């Protein structure tokens, strides 16, 4: 087919033919390829959009709005998130959307990241596991998933221009890790490149990202699409691995035609760039529209997801509320106009939108309500009304969180605080009534010290989507025990965060130290106090870690360590427990954080029952990225495995030794001190001392080449023989 298509038409096919479709041509048999946002529900248009207002809900078809990615990550439930993907996939099929532009696989590098609500976690392993589940679910419905934003897109400030400077190991071990594992295990149909630069090159034009890593090392054969408007140099993008520029039509068509005419771009290179698009087109052509879907059923499922996402941060026993006859105060405009999503490309028109005030009033008939604030601000009148409600109530539910002006795509937050107006209301009502339950709606960590000190319970509900009320009620009334666990650390304050005063940068950002300077890696390694640790969350049940049994079998790479944990629920309520497994690497001179999440399992433990949890750690759980081999390897050495409720509550440890894999040594060149030979290549250190003389202490600090040069002169070694020695030495440098 490609040979029959005119060259000019091929140029057009490298770009979209509209905002949400591409590969539409009279020269191509079959329908066009349709794409749609987003990560929390599909966004499709019921009518043409005027003036480019693509985020206005008045143009959209109703769809199920699921909790945001932060909330999904807080479920720690792979099966649940796979079903989220499957459900959204069904709605895509109904609207004949071929590829869903989701999920986001970037990490939460700072709580200030404006798009954190679209990302699963600060941790690469948890992000990877949630992403794999989501992609698996979407693609089970014959709809493609498009993982994004590849790569290193952890800030919104100057996101189209900022240059991320990073070393190879940190890049692969942290920020590319989720992309790698989703591609390796689930093969998403598309990958979306990011806006930012990477070590000087735009991600959409980076030969390293798109060719060296994605195509050659990872063997990816799917489509690479640009983020919307990310292409700066179309010819360079095509040459370096970009398949489709979005949106379209492109402003760069003449640039491509000129390059073809001048010979700086060949038709063969253009054809190669189009091959993945033809393959994707063949895949989607026979897929038929799903005629009917049950949105009521989907909404009910969204409520289940929301319920598992809610994290109980504090509770002195005030929850659950059993007395439904008591006088309830509901304060905060978020109860009447809930904050359900983070906006931007995740915008969805909810099929159903629950309103907390309405749903709470059905359960608690004896209630009173006050706005308290409008958006970020309050007034004396609003505060007085709120105080009156608080004073007259037995229990107060205070709804608060970040507003659209504080947290949204396209900008990073300036601070971790709640809106000043909200805090003023809280300060007033807590003096009138100490029985306050705080209900938070936000996408990332907040400074909650003031609320923690003066409330009896706090629920982190994130952006809960369409089911933003009944899931909260299920927790509050005790119908469900809270089971959400934090997928990011809540620091005490902004000044304690690892990138304070450097985030967000405008022109260039340094990621080099992020192996131990991101999230819990930073706080736990340095033993810094935090407000709430990674993996934390309270329950109404008392679940004990009764026994932990370890089985170690090094020859079995798929099950190097098997762990069996017996959990005992001592309470009268069924409840989930999430068993977390962390690995600590005990290899001298290898830079690693104190611990890294390497496995987890969420399990329901029935009231007054025990449940056995089985967790398998493959050898992959002990891997490190080796810059010499440009790949992940497992090093010989000791590793401590911890079974935990969260990163700071450890219930059992076991040290294992790996002996049949690779010996660690850092990258070495002739410019490194001789001491490196003594540490990592002792046979060469011994060779020099045996054939030359024992080295003095200060000589071990000198570069290897200088000692070899001295050796050559003193022993009258020929240039040819010395080059042979150096050649063998370099071979050993490279493993």
pLDDT one-digit tens code per residue, 178-215: 999 999 999 999 999 999 999 999 999 999 999 999 99
Q: Which of helix, strand or coil describes residue 39?
A: coil
Lowest model confidence (mean pLDDT) among 141-155, 549-563, 632-646: 549-563
pTM over 0.85: yes
∠ Cα 302 304 305 (to 5°): 65
At 38 the pLDDT is 84
Per the listing, tokens 């920020």 go with 175
CA-CA distance, 161 to 134, in Å (whole number)? 30
Residue 530: pLDDT above 70? yes
227 among known catalytic residues: yes
Q: Please identify, among 284, 311, 340, the residue that sits at the C-terminal boundary of a domain.
A: 284
Instruction: Specify whether the CB–CB gap between 150 and 106 falls below 8 A.
Output: no
Q: Indicate the pairing of strand 490-491 with strand 508-510.
A: unpaired
**Per-residue pLDDT averaged across 449-478, rounded?**
98
pLDDT digits (tens, 9 = 90+) for 634-684: 999 999 999 999 999 999 999 999 988 998 988 889 999 999 999 899 999
pLDDT value for 557: 67
Contact criterion met (CB below 8 Å) for 386 and 374: no
Least confident of 26-30, 469-473, 517-521, 650-654: 26-30
Domain boundary, last residue among 626, 658, 690: 658
Between CA 29 and CA 22 the distance in angstroms is 13
Do 482 and 618 fall within a single domain? Answer: no
Q: Looking at 17-26, 36-45, 202-211, 549-558, which range is the least confident one?
A: 549-558
292 falls within a domain: no
Task: Name the 3-class secondary structure at 184.
Answer: helix
Pairing of strands 190-193, 223-226: parallel
Domain count, the chain: 4
| CATH code for position 506 | 3.40.50.1700
Give the pLDDT confidence score for residue 48 in this predicted structure. 82
**Same domain, yes or no, for 180 and 101?**
yes
Q: Is residue 290 included in any domain, yes or no?
A: no
Range of the domain at 547: 543-658
pLDDT above 70 for 554: no
Q: Which are the contacts of 712, defined by CB distance < 8 A and separation ≥ 6?
A: 722
60 inside domain: yes
Surface-to-core class of residue 504, CB atoms within 10 Å of its CB (0-12 exposed, 13-18 middle, 19+ buried) = buried
Which is the catalytic residue, given 227, 412, 474, 524? 227
Give the pLDDT band (50/70/90) at residue 80. Answer: very high
Strand bridging mode 596-605 / 490-491: unpaired
CATH assignment of the domain containing 570? 2.60.40.10
- The phi, psi pair for 417, rounded to 5°, reads -85, 155
Confidence class for position 3, pLDDT limits 50, 70, 90: confident
**CB atoms closer than 10 angstroms to residue 689:** 14
Name the residue with tokens 């000129």: 258
Q: Do 683 and 613 belong to one domain?
A: no
Q: Burial letters for 68-96: b for 16+ Cβ neighbours within 10 Å, e otherwise?
A: bbbbbbbbbbbebbbbbbbbbbbbbbbbb
Kindly state whether residue 5 falls inside one of the protein's structural domains. Answer: no
Instruction: Give the residue-averaged pLDDT of 467-485.
Output: 97
Q: Are residues 363 and 503 in the same domain?
A: yes
Model confidence at 51: pLDDT above 80:
no
- Tell me whether residue 1 is in a domain: no
């Amino acid at each position: 087919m490609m040979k029959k298509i005119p060259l000019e038409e091929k140029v057009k096919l490298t770009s979209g033919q509209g905002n949400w479709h591409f590969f539409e041509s009279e020269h191509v048999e079959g329908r066009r390829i349709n794409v749609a946002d987003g990560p929390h529900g599909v966004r499709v248009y019921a009518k043409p959009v005027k003036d480019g207002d693509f985020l206005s809900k008045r143009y959209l078809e109703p769809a199920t709005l699921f909790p945001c990615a932060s909330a999904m990550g807080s479920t720690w439930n792979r099966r649940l998130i796979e079903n989220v993907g499957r459900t959204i996939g069904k709605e895509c099929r109904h609207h004949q959307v071929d590829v869903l532009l989701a999920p986001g696989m970037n990490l939460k590098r700072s709580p200030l990241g404006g798009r954190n609500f679209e990302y699963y976690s600060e941790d690469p392993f948890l992000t990877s596991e949630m992403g794999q589940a989501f992609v698996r679910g979407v693609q089970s419905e014959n709809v493609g998933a498009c993982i994004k934003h590849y790569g290193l897109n952890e800030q919104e400030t100057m996101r189209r221009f900022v240059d991320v400077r990073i070393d190879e190991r940190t890049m692969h071990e942290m920020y590319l890790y989720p992309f790698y594992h989703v591609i390796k295990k689930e093969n998403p149909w598309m990958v979306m490149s990011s806006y930012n630069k990477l070590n000087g090159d735009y991600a959409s034009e980076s030969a390293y990202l798109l060719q060296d890593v994605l195509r050659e090392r990872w063997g990816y054969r799917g489509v690479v699409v640009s983020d919307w408007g990310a292409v700066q140099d179309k010819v360079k993008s095509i040459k370096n691995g970009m398949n489709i520029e979005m949106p379209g039509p492109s402003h760069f068509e003449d640039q491509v035609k000129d390059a073809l005419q001048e010979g700086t771009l060949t038709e063969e290179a253009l054809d190669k760039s189009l091959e993945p698009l033809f393959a994707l087109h063949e895949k989607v052509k026979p897929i038929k529209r799903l005629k009917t879907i049950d949105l009521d059923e989907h909404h009910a499922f969204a409520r289940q997801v929301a319920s598992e996402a809610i994290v109980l941060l504090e509770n002195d026993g005030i929850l659950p509320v059993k007395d439904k006859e008591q006088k309830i105060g509901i304060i905060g405009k978020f109860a009447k106009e809930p904050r359900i999503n983070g906006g931007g490309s995740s915008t969805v028109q909810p099929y159903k939108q629950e309103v907390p005030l309405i749903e709470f009033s059905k359960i608690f008939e004896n209630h009173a309500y006050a706005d308290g604030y409008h958006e970020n601000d309050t007034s004396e009148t609003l505060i007085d009304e709120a105080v009156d409600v608080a004073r007259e109530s037995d229990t107060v539910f205070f709804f608060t969180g970040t507003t659209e002006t504080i947290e949204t795509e396209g900008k990073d937050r300036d601070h971790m605080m709640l809106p000043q107006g909200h805090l003023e209301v809280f300060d007033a009502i807590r003096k009138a009534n100490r029985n306050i339950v705080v209900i938070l709606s936000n996408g990332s960590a907040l400074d909650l010290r003031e609320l923690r000190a003066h409330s009896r319970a706090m629920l982190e509900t994130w952006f809960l989507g369409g089911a933003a009320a009944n899931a909260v009620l299920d927790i509050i009334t005790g119908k469900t025990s809270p089971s959400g666990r934090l997928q990011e650390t809540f620091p005490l304050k902004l000044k304690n965060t690892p990138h304070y005063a450097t985030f967000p940068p405008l022109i260039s950002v340094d990621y080099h130290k992020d192996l131990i300077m991101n999230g819990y890696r930073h706080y736990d390694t340095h033993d810094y106090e935090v407000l709430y640790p990674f993996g934390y969350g309270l329950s109404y049940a008392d679940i004990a870690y009764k026994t932990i049994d370890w089985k170690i079998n090094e020859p079995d790479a798929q099950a190097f360590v098997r762990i069996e944990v017996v959990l005992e629920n001592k309470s009268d309520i069924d409840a989930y427990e999430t068993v977390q497994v962390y690995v600590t690497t005990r290899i001298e001179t290898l830079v690693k954080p104190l611990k890294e999440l390497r496995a987890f399992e969420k399990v329901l433990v029935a009231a007054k029952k025990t449940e056995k949890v089985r967790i398998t750690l493959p050898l992959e759980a002990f891997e490190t990225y080796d810059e010499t081999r440009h790949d992940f390897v497992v090093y010989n050495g000791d590793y401590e495995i911890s079974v935990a409720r969260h990163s700071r509550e450890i219930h059992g440890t076991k040290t294992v030794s790996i002996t049949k894999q690779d010996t660690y040594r850092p990258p070495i060149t002739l410019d490194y001190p001789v001491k490196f030979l003594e540490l990592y290549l002792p046979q060469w250190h011994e060779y020099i001392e045996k054939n030359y003389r024992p080295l003095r202490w200060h000589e071990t600090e000198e570069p290897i080449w200088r000692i070899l040069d001295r050796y050559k002169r003193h022993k009258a070694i020929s240039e040819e023989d010395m080059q042979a020695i150096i050649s063998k030495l370099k071979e050993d440098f490279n493993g």
